[in-house]
Amino acid sequence: MKTALSVLFLFFVFGCKKPDVLPPEIVVITPQQNQTFSSGQTVTIKTTVTDNVGLHMVHVIAIDNNGGHWVHSEDHVDGKSFQVNKTFVTNPDNTYTITIEATDHDDNTAFKEITVSSN
C-alpha cells in the first residue's frame, strides 16, 4: 500500500508539467515603424520569432490603405525559433500595415504591428 501511494505521489509531483503561459516573442528587424519608402522600392519584412517551449504558427500579413493584400503567409513551425523574411514592392502614396502574429503550442499568442508608407 505504501509503495502504491509513493508511486502515485511521484507521478503527481514529477508527471504533471506546468502549463506554458508565456507568449512567443517577436523582434522586428526591418522595417522600422513609420518608415517611408519610395514608390517601387522593395520592403523587406525581417523578424525573429522565439518561444520558450515551442512555436506552432507564424502569420504575416501586409495590407495597404485600400485593403489590398501584399503579403499573406502562414508558416506552421515546429521549433523554438523562426526567421521571417518576406518582401513586397510599394506603389505610390500608400500606407501599409504589417502584422506579425505568433502562436505557441499552448495557444499563447503575440502580435506586432508596424505601419510604413510610400511616396
Can the peptide bond before residue 31 be classed as cis, meaning omega within 30 degrees of 0? yes
Per-block mean pLDDT, blocks of 10 residues, the chain (119 long): 57 66 98 98 98 98 96 96 98 97 97 98
Q: What is the 3-state secondary structure (H, E, C) of 74-115?
A: EEEEEEEEEEEEEEEECCCCCEEEEEEEEEECCCCEEEEEEE
Domain residue spans of the chain: 22-118
Rg over CA atoms, the chain: 21
The pLDDT of residue 9 is: 55
Q: Which fold has domain 22-118?
A: Immunoglobulin-like (2.60.40)
